Amino acid sequence: MTHPTPDAARDNAQPVIRLQSVQKSFALPSGEVFDAVQSLSLDIQQGDVFGLIGKSGAGKSTLLRLINLLERPDAGKVFVGGRDLTTLSRRELRDTRQNIGMIFQQFNLLQNATVFGNVAFPLKIHGHHSKAEIDARVRECLALVGLAEKIDTYPAQLSGGQKQRVAIARALASRPQVLLCDEPTSALDSETTRSLLETLRDINQKIGVTIVIVTHELSVVEVLCRNVAILEKGRLVEQFAVEDAPKAERKTALGREIDELVRRRERESRELRELREAGNGVATLRVAPDLNAQEPAHV
């Protein structure tokens, strides 16, 4: 038997999330049927930070909820970690969901539990962990989000950014491969948003968890995401790598806006670099004559 080459191994690598022709409709009170997600296929690779964007009502949240089967598709398959979630029993699904953490715009913390209680909650209900294991894991997760010192605090005493950090720690407690984020910064101011995005990027780099983030804020995509998919009326209309943005033409207005943001950032960092270099030159020119002037003319 021959060993696969690294290239072959990569080609054979399964994506951590694979949606195959998923479909989700809702019956409206009027009796009409509304197609929220229409025959949509999507692969997301292990370790990616993947943005789902689109206008309000485009089907982003529905699509995200299909990934952990909070919404069951009317048709199609949902693979996470190689398992088709649509074929699992309730019990198997409950176990498999430990592999998929989720955070929301409104944090959804337990108000009557401390930070410790919130992060420990998913470990306690799944029951396979000793008290010491839970304690260690909670502390580990709180350290990851920079909230170790808030362990005995109640949610009401925390800022919005801190609440979302607790929610992230809770979502990571069971060591999931995938973290789903539905508009996680929409309730936060821009300063807090920036720091939370840095934390998410840091977590992705440190523990390699795959992040799927729904957002309507293009700056979130530009700062955080490696890949992005654009949804319109329940369909995936465009998908690209954010770092490729300046090189390619886009089909959608949102795609072009992301391009423009990436171009602007590149321009700004180039200008900053040039300014810095020019600044150094000026400093050298200024310093040099002064030094010369201090030298005694006759030496």
Under 8 Å CB-to-CB from 192, ≥6 apart: which residues? Answer: 159, 160, 161, 185
Nearer to Mg ion, 142 or 200 (CB): 200
Shortest Cβ 59–ligand ADP spacing (Å) = 4
| Cα dist from 155 to 9, 69, 146, whole Å | 46, 28, 15
Under 8 Å CB-to-CB from 58, ≥6 apart: which residues? Answer: 231, 232, 233, 234
Contact with ligand ADP (CB under 6 A): which of 16, 17, 19, 36?
Answer: 36
Instruction: Give the end-to-end CA distance of the chain in Å, rounded to a whole number.
Output: 80
Amino acid symbol at 58: A
* Angle, helix 131-144 to helix 160-172, in steps of 10 degrees: 130
Nearer to ligand ADP, 153 or 252 (CB): 252
Nearer to ligand ADP, 12 or 56 (CB): 56
Give the one entry of ligand ADP, Mg ion, none that residue 224 binds, where binding means its C-beta sits below a cut-off of 5 to 8 angstroms depending on kind. Answer: none
Kindly determine how many residues on this chain lie close enough to bind ligand ADP according to the rule CB under 6 A.
Answer: 11
What is the phi-psi region of residue 61: left when phi exceeds 0, alpha when psi lies from -120 to 50, beta otherwise?
alpha
Query: CA 120, CA 141: separation in Å to the nearest integer?
Result: 10
Per-residue contact track with ligand ADP, 41 to 80, x per CB under 6 A?
A: -------------x-xxxxxxx------------------
Give the one entry of Mg ion, ligand ADP, none that residue 26 binds, where binding means its C-beta sits below a cut-off of 5 to 8 angstroms depending on kind. Answer: ligand ADP
From start to end of the chain, where are the E strands? Answer: 17-27, 33-44, 49-53, 75-80, 83-84, 100-103, 178-182, 210-215, 227-232, 235-241
Nearer to ligand ADP, 64 or 209 (CB): 64
Residues at the site binding Mg ion, with contacts judged by CB under 5 A: 61
Nearer to Mg ion, 61 or 164 (CB): 61
Give the one entry of ligand ADP, Mg ion, none that residue 36 binds, where binding means its C-beta sits below a cut-off of 5 to 8 angstroms depending on kind. Answer: ligand ADP
Per-residue contact track with ligand ADP, 179 to 218, x per CB under 6 A?
A: ----------------------------------------
**φ/ψ (deg, to 5) at 81:** 60, 35
Give the one entry of Mg ion, ligand ADP, none that residue 56 binds, where binding means its C-beta sits below a cut-off of 5 to 8 angstroms depending on kind. Answer: ligand ADP
Structure tokens, 210: 């795959």
Shortest Cβ 162–ligand ADP spacing (Å) = 25
- Looking at the DSSP bridge assignments, the partners of residue 53 are 215, 230
Nearer to ligand ADP, 57 or 279 (CB): 57
Cβ neighbours around 19 below 10 Å, total: 22
Contact with ligand ADP (CB under 6 A): which of 8, 14, 34, 278?
Answer: 34
> What is the contact surface with ligand ADP in residues (CB under 6 A)?
26, 34, 36, 54, 56-62
